[in-house]
A and B are shown apart, each in its own frame.
Chain A
Amino acid sequence: MFRSPNLFTMNSQVGYAGLACLLLAIAGCSSSSSSSSGDSGMLGLNDTGVDWCGDDDANNLSCPVTSFPGQDGDSGRDAAARDGDLDKLGEGDAGFDFIKLDGDGEHLPASATDHTCVLDNVTGLMWEVKQTGTGDLRYADHSYSWYNPDADVNGGDAGIEDGGFCALSDCDTHAFVNAVNAAGLCGYDDWRMPTVSELNSIMHRGVTGDVAIDTDFFPNTVADYYWTSQTSAQDGNEDRAWQFDFSIPEFSASTAWRTGKNQLKQVRLVRNTP
């Protein structure tokens, strides 16, 4: 069942028109006041998952901490959830508010273990959940090269076609997006590559474990790098795109940095909801 087989019937026409403006690379194109930020379509900002406080060398302290005032764990959605003051439509750790969806996009109870997509009630984004079967289109460990033939948004370098290791599609980001849309994941055909901000929105920085994400809602997340849609804006670096790391580092690390489009990374697709 396709809920939105025709892009023009979607309720997100304003956002779509705004995207089209950007696709046309018109600096003077204004977005409507009801439209959202830049290329992203997030309705609101997620909190970080950090519902505790720290001092010079300790984490998981009760908030507030004397001499370390006004830090992340002192305010926001995570603090409200910790204090029992946050209303959610769905469920999720700390301040996160997610709903599990089945393959047709129907809501499932939070206790479901075989869900296909996740709706984020704060950002309004719908996310792909990766699969465990190595022969599946959306297997968690498939890798893809970065490729986007659209010269209006690829930063001037389309990247590399079919460079990765995967199944049921060519192994680049463009081919994977097309294959998932052809399959009608969760009833939709407007899946796309996420931005740094969008991947950042589901990173859970409050946990210790293999990966910095709510694994109940996002199982099969690998401790590796995920591609974003965004090319490096540095002159001469058009052959690089932003990647996002969900692993929890041994010592110190970057979560968002730039790497060659020929590199092989994971992909998690996203779409806007009205």
Chain B
Amino acid sequence: MKIRHTLYCSPLLLTPVFSAQAGECDNAAVPATTPGSDFEVLGDGSTVRHEPTGRVWARCSLGQEWNAATESCDGTADNFHWRDALEEVADINANGGFAGHSDWRVPNINELESIVERCKHAPAINEEIFPDSSTYFYWSSTPSVALSNDNTRAWQINFQDGGVSMAGRASDTFYENLVRIVRDTDGQ
């Protein structure tokens, strides 16, 4: 059985998917969840389409700027309270949009989880696709539920390891996270 699939795979060994060290797994015996072949780079390179989900992602975090010459993200990512993150993206859409579109969103928790690279650690993301990415927490747009009626939290992902957890969403908390914006595409 293995011989059959070795034959299937071996011609492709000559054309590595990952062109940079940044996309390789930290542990080669943990299956990759977001191989570079799952992404199509769009336009000026500032966005990518994730084929398995049909979502388009900004390659830089909010606050950073895409540098097409170096294929990297310049500047420092901004931290936002949950509400400010939602309003910041609404402002982007209302003021000319980004990468030719005005329907960007803070990702819901399932969308955000779909770009976690579980064969990598610190950051747990494919850095060839998402360069200069942070190992800190990123917001989802999904508010959370707790039995104590503590409805003051929202779901987040720690991109140091890819853990999914909650953080305070009220504007008077100290929880200020990073944001990577997403949009839908037709056909998914």
Interface residues of A (CB under 8 A from B): 17, 20-31, 33, 36-40, 42, 44-48, 50, 53-59, 67-73, 75-76, 151-156, 195-197, 200-201, 205-208, 212, 230-235, 237-238, 242, 248-258
Contact = CB atoms under 8 A, between A and B. Distances in A.
B131 interface: no
B147 A37 contact: no
Contacts of A44: 53-54, 188
Nearest to A249: B146
B163 A258 contact: yes
A28 B13 contact: yes
Contacts of A53: 143
Nearest to B115: A37
B124 A47 contact: no
B69 interface: no
B143 A230 contact: no
A242 B161 CA distance: 10
A258 B142 CA distance: 22
Contact of A20 (B5, B24, B150): B5
Contacts of A72: 108-109, 140-143
B87 interface: yes
Interface string B34-62: 11011000000000001111110000000
11 contacts: A27-B18, A27-B24, A31-B37, A37-B34, A57-B151, A72-B140, A205-B155, A234-B161, A235-B121, A237-B121, A258-B161
Given A28-B15, A29-B9, A230-B118, A56 B146 contact: no
Interface string B10-43: 0011111110000011111111111101100000
A92 to B, nearest CB: 15
A254 B55 CA distance: 25
A249 B164 CA distance: 13
B27 A238 contact: yes
A73 B109 CA distance: 12
Given A47-B110, A48-B142, A205-B142, A252 B53 contact: no
B171 A234 contact: no
A69 B86 contact: yes
A233 B124 contact: yes
Nearest to B18: A27
B146 A251 contact: yes
B30 A153 contact: yes
Contacts of B18: 27-28
B99 interface: no
Interface in B132-188: 140-148, 150-155, 161-167, 169-172, 184, 188
B89 interface: yes
Given A234-B121, A242-B118, A21 B145 contact: no
A13 B144 CA distance: 39
Contact of B51 (A33, A67, A235): A33
A251 B148 CA distance: 6
Contacts of A212: 145
A21 B37 CA distance: 13
Contacts of A253: 146, 165-166
A205 B110 CA distance: 10
